Chains A and B, each alone.
Chain A
Amino acid sequence: MNAGDRIHVERGAQAYEGVLLPSSTPDHLVVKLDGGYNVGIDREDATVEVVETDVYDVESAQDEEGTSTVEFDEALPTVSLISTGGTIASTVDYRTGAVTAQFDAEDVLRAVPDLAGMANYRGRVVANILSENMTPAVWQDLARAIHEEIEAGADGVVVMHGTDTMQFTASAMAFMLDTPVPIVFTGSQRSADRPSSDNVMNAVSAVAAAKSDAAEVMVCMHESESDDRCALHRGTRVRKNHTSRRDAFETVGAEPLGTVDYEAVREGEPAAAGSADEGGVTFRREHAQRGEIELALHDELETDVELVKFTPGTDASRLAALDDAAGIVVEGTGLGHVDTDWIDVIDDLTDDGTAVVMTSQCLDGRVCDRVYDTGRDLLAAGVVEGEDMLPGTAKVKLMWALANTSDVADTMSEPLAGEIQSQSRPWT
């Protein structure tokens, strides 16, 4: 008896007939009845008779025949679709019952037919992982892949990424790559196997953004709960601020960089007269222009970097235990504070050559360790103020700075990729 067989099960007064599915527990047979319902039957005391074998090939039922044959259109730009896994490219795993990533980039085209006609596509799979399993090593693979794609002529890059750690990967790309074309991250908060998935609108909007003139690393996700617009966030300023909403992603400390009007993109509306933007894509602020800088890759990373959050009661010994780290980002309270017991430990760490950067768990606003005594003592102990950087972004930047620059303190205080906003104007 195998998954895909048609079986007849009797157990006591109950009788069921249907297709056996890969079961999620060893105690139950899961059978798909003719009406389409699945039902779990206790294996114990159940008599099973196989009526017909291999009625369905459950393993490959999701696979389409052949590959998509999208014709090359010289009039259209070329957009490289890179998949790293995640909800936008996911389907149901019938072993665990959970949602897992199974699609490659070609599948994304098949899954989102609405993308056809917007660009010529190059598909590429860098990883097939849930974004919680993302590692700096995959960031490096991804940066190299994007570099190759742009070198090969891509006019824009769209990275399909799980939403959980998208902001970290986007930040990493912002530091590792000097890009002359848009690099747009997108994903979905509702899995692609449901009709209401946000994947279609997010992917279509991301491709529109990848065709624009903003040579930035951006995150393109729903602006509100409605399917009307996507927000374009700067990769280094964005944060997932909700567990489940479509509009979970927000730019911290500013309005989003731009907006994609889904309706306008779907209807192929031309850009406004005199605008260099793609139809439906608008920007609020200045951004790097397409072709402005030379493509370059700086893919070294120091991975021995920790992000430590201070909350009342966290003993200084926790920090002291990190004395081997090359760098530590502290997520302090308020303007950038920790328990005064921590200060001596920080002093020792910096003396031993560990870079210590202060950020704030307020998330919004700038660190300033010159207002209160604790702050002044922290500065004296060698802490670098992380300005208004998001703690997660600061960690990625510190990994990059330690491997690519000589003066880490200076690098951490200067804006490289929009991660630090020199002027605090959160309303813009």
Chain B
Amino acid sequence: MTEYDYEELGLVAGLEIHQQLDTATKLFCQCPTRIREPEESTRSLTRYLHPTKSELGEIDDAALEESMVDREFEYLAYDTTCLVEEDDEPPHRVDREAMDVALEIAQLLDMNVADQVHVMRKIVIDGSNTSGFQRSMLVANDGEISTSEGSVGIEDMLLEEESAQRVEETDAGVRFSLDRLGIPLVEIGTKPDIRSPAQAREAAERIGMLLRSTGQVKRGLGTIRQDVNVSIADGARIELKGVQSLDDIDDIVRNEVRRQVELLDIRDELNERGASVGDPQDVTAVFEDTDSGVIRGALDSGGVVQAVRLSGFDGLVGREIQPDRRLGTELSDHAKRHGAGGIFHTDELPAYGVTEDEVAALREAVDAGPEDAVVIVADDPETAELAIEAAAERAETALDRVPEETRDANDDATSRYLRPLPGAARMYPETDVPPVTPDESEVETPELLTEKVDRYQSEFGLDAGLAEQVAYGQRWRLFEDAVDRGADATLAAQTLASTVTELRRDDVPVAHLTDDHFRATLELVADGELAKEGVPELLTALAEEPGMDAAEAAEAAGLGSAGEDEVRAAVSTVVERHDEQVAEEGMGAFSALMGECMGELRGKADGDVVSDVLREEIQKRA
């Protein structure tokens, strides 16, 4: 990937990190924060949403664009959701636990907590909230984190409710699932202090580490989402939504900078050429006998072909601006937004069944010369008209600037047009919930994961790798608890970090293992009733039959720790089997025989004990 001189380009970036909290109940009701499968839904309801004004009398553009489409929303409800999620009961008071976690996070980010927190309604009428708004509150502002390229300011931290999960599109609209709606979510926005892609990633990692240090954030796919705001000096502010993986953040920023640089280049070139955008017109006649599948399909179901001439655009519509994305893709995104399947443009034609003759006829129909490009949309008459207008409008913008917009992050670190930037007017007070006066006095600052890594090394003698594995993993509480109860720190760490991973790779259903399973297993070792070599086998047995008691399972698997007599008997057998070798090599035979002894005892004996006994037995015979 090309690296630009980001300082010279005037790169300015900021992050918005959304993290679900792992609280017992939701933010505004007593339902559990549990994710369900749509098949488990027990009832459903349908609703419509209507745009409303903020208390300052303004309707937001983005909200209005959403509402233009009259859609029916269906919501799946569960035996773990209630009337509050269904917007048929007023919200309860703000969940204390969620507020406490938010205050902990505020401390970690060195922020000022508001004297009085007001719950707001952020208008969202895409159906993802049954109420038509997301409840959100500003808890703290003005914090700071450090990165190797300088400190990054934290603008604000919001505590809000997670939206409903979109299940699928339906004929009438969209189906959502209510299980996720109302899970507490913190949104942390940085100041636009980030100056390079690498710094963006480092800042995101730092914030992620601080969040996980509370031990009260959810883990797993979709529980943390990153939005990145990017602009360059001559470009525009772009909000990139929904970056799922931290590892992509730097690439997302690089690709966005490239997109803006390329778009500015295209603009300059277009202006040099004196380019302009024509008026859309119907060119259905050109394609009457076409064999192009897409166009044929549209025409056969009563559709039309609309075209617009882009004078002076030849070759530029097909110019790559991000990996595998062209200016044409941008035009296409806008057409898709209005319901079309996409566009064709002359930089990529003839192709898709459109012949050279048809391209020539098309050019002629719209009076396009060789230096011009033509864009077409084939769809039902209404959609085709809206879509070609949208594409033409986007082309017009290309003559002037990089447009400000909200974009959706793709999996390959590129992005696609989503909607205009939301304005600030889509907020009004949530009058059903009284303001909260936060009490910071009872909030303890948690130990950072980085501090934990250091402490695990110095206090428990773990090596750096293992210490990090445990601290950043999901089971550090269990680890500290087990060590408190007398477990060997290294064994506990290995068990909770690497052993589990190894078992998972061997297809052992480790998801069945509970904290109690781990605790009991480590206790058996501490009490000398289980050899540490028997741990993987016992965990396997428990994972396969989670109902079993650890001690029972150990016994059933023949894993009870062998007594010294049993060890000596087994070792003697091995040594006698190899008496010649022992006689010849003496202690030199130790390594070879050790493995065989351990095999004989099949995990029932501690390696240290076996090694002592073996040493003795060899000495006796040597």
Which A residues contact B (CB, under 8 angstroms)?
11-16, 19, 21, 24, 28, 30, 32-42, 56, 58, 61-63, 92, 94, 97-99, 189-190, 192-197, 200-201, 224-228, 243-246
Contact partner of B57 (CB less than 8 A), chosen from A19, A32, A61, A243, is A61
Contact B45 A62 (CB under 8 A): no
**B 427-439 binary contact with A (CB < 8 Å = 1; else 0):** 1110100110000
**B 107-146 binary contact with A (CB < 8 Å = 1; else 0):** 0000010111110111101000011110011100110000
Contact B47 A227 (CB under 8 A): yes
**B 75-105 binary contact with A (CB < 8 Å = 1; else 0):** 0000000010011111000000000000000
* Interface-central residue, B86, B137, B429, by most chain A CB under 10 Å: B429
**B 408-430 binary contact with A (CB < 8 Å = 1; else 0):** 00000000000000001111110
Contact B45 A15 (CB under 8 A): no
The reply on B536 being an interface residue by CB < 8 A is: no
Inside 8 A of A225's CB, which chain B residues have their CB?
A: 45, 86, 88
Q: Known: A62-B55, A190-B87. Contact between A195 and B49, CB under 8 A?
A: yes
The reply on B505 being an interface residue by CB < 8 A is: no
Inside 8 A of A13's CB, which chain B residues have their CB?
A: 112, 142
Given contacts A11-B115, A14-B115, A19-B56, 16 further A-B contacts (CB under 8 A): A13-B112, A28-B115, A28-B116, A33-B138, A37-B120, A38-B427, A39-B118, A39-B138, A40-B117, A40-B435, A92-B428, A193-B428, A194-B121, A195-B52, A195-B132, A226-B47
Contact partner of B48 (CB less than 8 A), chosen from A14, A28, A200, is A200
Contact partner of A56 (CB less than 8 A), chosen from B52, B56, B138, B158, is B56
The reply on B202 being an interface residue by CB < 8 A is: no
Q: Known: A36-B122, A61-B55, A196-B130. Contact between A24 and B435, CB under 8 A?
A: yes
- Show 10 residue pairs from A and B whose CB-CB distance is below 8 angstroms, ordered by the A residue: A13-B142, A24-B435, A35-B156, A36-B425, A36-B427, A41-B114, A41-B116, A92-B431, A97-B431, A228-B46
Inside 8 A of B53's CB, which chain A residues have their CB?
A: 62, 193
The reply on B620 being an interface residue by CB < 8 A is: no
The reply on B51 being an interface residue by CB < 8 A is: yes
Q: Known: A244-B89, A245-B83. Contact between A37 and B427, CB under 8 A?
A: yes
Inside 8 A of B48's CB, which chain A residues have their CB?
A: 200-201, 227
Q: Known: A39-B116, A61-B56, A225-B88. Contact between A194 and B132, CB under 8 A?
A: yes
Inside 8 A of B116's CB, which chain A residues have their CB?
A: 28, 30, 39-42
* Interface-central residue, A12, A14, A42, A246, by most chain B CB under 10 Å: A14
Contact partner of A226 (CB less than 8 A), chosen from B46, B90, B156, is B46
B:150-185 near A, CB below 8 Å = 156, 158
Q: How far is it, in angstroms, between the C-alpha of A244 and the C-alpha of B432 when the chains are bound?
A: 12
Cβ of A389 to closest chain B Cβ, rounded Å = 29
Contact B83 A36 (CB under 8 A): no
Inside 8 A of A245's CB, which chain B residues have their CB?
A: 83, 88-89
Q: How far is it, in angstroms, between the C-alpha of A225 and the C-alpha of B131 when the chains are bound?
A: 13
List the B residue with the shortest CB-CB distance to A201: B48
Contact partner of B131 (CB less than 8 A), chosen from A42, A58, A92, A196, is A196
The reply on B577 being an interface residue by CB < 8 A is: no
List the B residue with the shortest CB-CB distance to A4: B56
Q: Known: A94-B55, A227-B46, A228-B46. Contact between A38 and B89, CB under 8 A?
A: no
Cβ of A55 to closest chain B Cβ, rounded Å = 10
Q: How far is it, in angstroms, between the C-alpha of A145 and the C-alpha of B132 when the chains are bound?
A: 36
Cβ of B447 to closest chain A Cβ, rounded Å = 25
Chain A interface SS verdict (over half) = loop
Inside 8 A of A41's CB, which chain B residues have their CB?
A: 114-116
Inside 8 A of A226's CB, which chain B residues have their CB?
A: 45-47
Q: How far is it, in angstroms, between the C-alpha of A61 and the C-alpha of B55 when the chains are bound?
A: 7
Contact A193 B115 (CB under 8 A): no
List the A residue with the shortest CB-CB distance to B129: A196
Contact B431 A244 (CB under 8 A): no
List the B residue with the shortest CB-CB distance to A98: B431
Q: How far is it, in angstroms, between the C-alpha of A99 and the C-alpha of B135 when the chains are bound?
A: 17
List the B residue with the shortest CB-CB distance to A56: B56
Contact A30 B45 (CB under 8 A): no
Cβ of B119 to closest chain A Cβ, rounded Å = 9
Inside 8 A of B56's CB, which chain A residues have their CB?
A: 19, 32, 56, 58, 61
List the A residue with the shortest CB-CB distance to B427: A36
Inside 8 A of A11's CB, which chain B residues have their CB?
A: 115
Q: How far is it, in angstroms, between the C-alpha of A416 and the C-alpha of B271 when the chains are bound?
A: 81
Q: How far is it, in angstroms, between the C-alpha of A40 and the C-alpha of B142 when the chains are bound?
A: 16
Q: How far is it, in angstroms, between the C-alpha of A245 and the C-alpha of B83 when the chains are bound?
A: 8
Contact A195 B115 (CB under 8 A): no
List the A residue with the shortest CB-CB distance to B89: A244
Contact A195 B123 (CB under 8 A): yes
Contact A193 B88 (CB under 8 A): no
* Interface-central residue, B55, B83, B156, B434, by most chain A CB under 10 Å: B55
List the A residue with the shortest CB-CB distance to B48: A227
Inside 8 A of A39's CB, which chain B residues have their CB?
A: 114-118, 138
* A-B pairs with lowest CB-CB distance, top 5: A195-B132, A40-B116, A36-B427, A61-B57, A37-B138
Inside 8 A of A227's CB, which chain B residues have their CB?
A: 46-48, 72
Cβ of A193 to closest chain B Cβ, rounded Å = 6
Inside 8 A of A63's CB, which chain B residues have their CB?
A: 57
List the A residue with the shortest CB-CB distance to B63: A195
Inside 8 A of B50's CB, which chain A residues have their CB?
A: 195, 197, 200
Inside 8 A of B429's CB, which chain A residues have their CB?
A: 38, 92, 94, 97
Cβ of B135 to closest chain A Cβ, rounded Å = 11
Cβ of A13 to closest chain B Cβ, rounded Å = 6
Cβ of A56 to closest chain B Cβ, rounded Å = 5
Inside 8 A of B72's CB, which chain A residues have their CB?
A: 227
Contact B112 A244 (CB under 8 A): no
List the B residue with the shortest CB-CB distance to A111: B52
Contact B431 A195 (CB under 8 A): no
Cβ of A2 to closest chain B Cβ, rounded Å = 15
Inside 8 A of B137's CB, which chain A residues have their CB?
A: 37
Q: How far is it, in angstroms, between the C-alpha of A116 and the C-alpha of B48 when the chains are bound?
A: 18
Contact B424 A34 (CB under 8 A): yes
Q: Known: A97-B429, A196-B132. Contact between A92 and B55, CB under 8 A?
A: yes
Contact A194 B45 (CB under 8 A): no
Q: How far is it, in angstroms, between the C-alpha of A243 and the C-alpha of B90 when the chains are bound?
A: 10
Q: How far is it, in angstroms, between the C-alpha of A224 and the C-alpha of B434 when the chains are bound?
A: 29
Q: How far is it, in angstroms, between the C-alpha of A8 and the C-alpha of B512 when the chains are bound?
A: 56
Contact partner of A244 (CB less than 8 A), chosen from B52, B83, B118, is B83
Cβ of A385 to closest chain B Cβ, rounded Å = 37
Inside 8 A of B136's CB, which chain A residues have their CB?
A: 37
Q: Known: A97-B429, A226-B45, A228-B46. Contact between A37 and B118, CB under 8 A?
A: yes
Inside 8 A of A195's CB, which chain B residues have their CB?
A: 49-52, 123, 125, 131-133
Cβ of B517 to closest chain A Cβ, rounded Å = 42
Cβ of B416 to closest chain A Cβ, rounded Å = 26
* Interface-central residue, A12, A32, A245, by most chain B CB under 10 Å: A32
Inside 8 A of A192's CB, which chain B residues have their CB?
A: 52
